[in-house]
Amino acid sequence: MAAAPTVLELKAPADGLATLGHITGLGRAAVVNLLEEIRVNLAKLDGCPGPHEFEVYTPPDGIIVATCGRCGGTIGMVELGWYRRGMEDGPLVAKLAARR
């Protein structure tokens, strides 16, 4: 099997997915699969009737995430913190905007 080309050996026009696969060591197919997983997850989150009902979950890989019980969408703990902050601040922001 031929060695994978270095980033500088990749032919133009550049294949961004191949480049990402090379840089990460995952390979092009794995990068495509990851992007598809992200697209599906964002579609779930965007299509959620809301509000999201996140529950914290620790999958076998050990990376703690929060999964919405309504839509099945998953977010990281940083995003969960900002989501909760937005839910708390949203009514206050609307109240302040109504005063103007």
Strands of the sheet with 74-76, listed across from one edge:
54-57, 65-68, 74-76
CB nearer to Zn ion: give 5 or 86.
86
Residues of this chain that bind Zn ion (CB under 5 A)? 48, 52, 68, 70-71
Q: Could you tell me the smallest distance in angstroms from the CB atom of residue 70 to Zn ion?
A: 4
Closest distance between Zn ion and the C-beta of residue 85, in Å?
17
- Identify which of residues 10 and 48 has a Cβ nearer to Zn ion in the complex: 48
Separation CA 77–CA 57 (nearest Å): 10
Name the minimum Å distance from CB 53 to Zn ion. Answer: 7
Residue 31 or 71: the one with the smaller Cβ distance to Zn ion is 71
Contact between residue 41 and residue 47 where contact means Cβ atoms under 8 Å apart: no
> 17: which residues sit within 8 A by CB, 6+ positions away?
28, 31, 32, 35
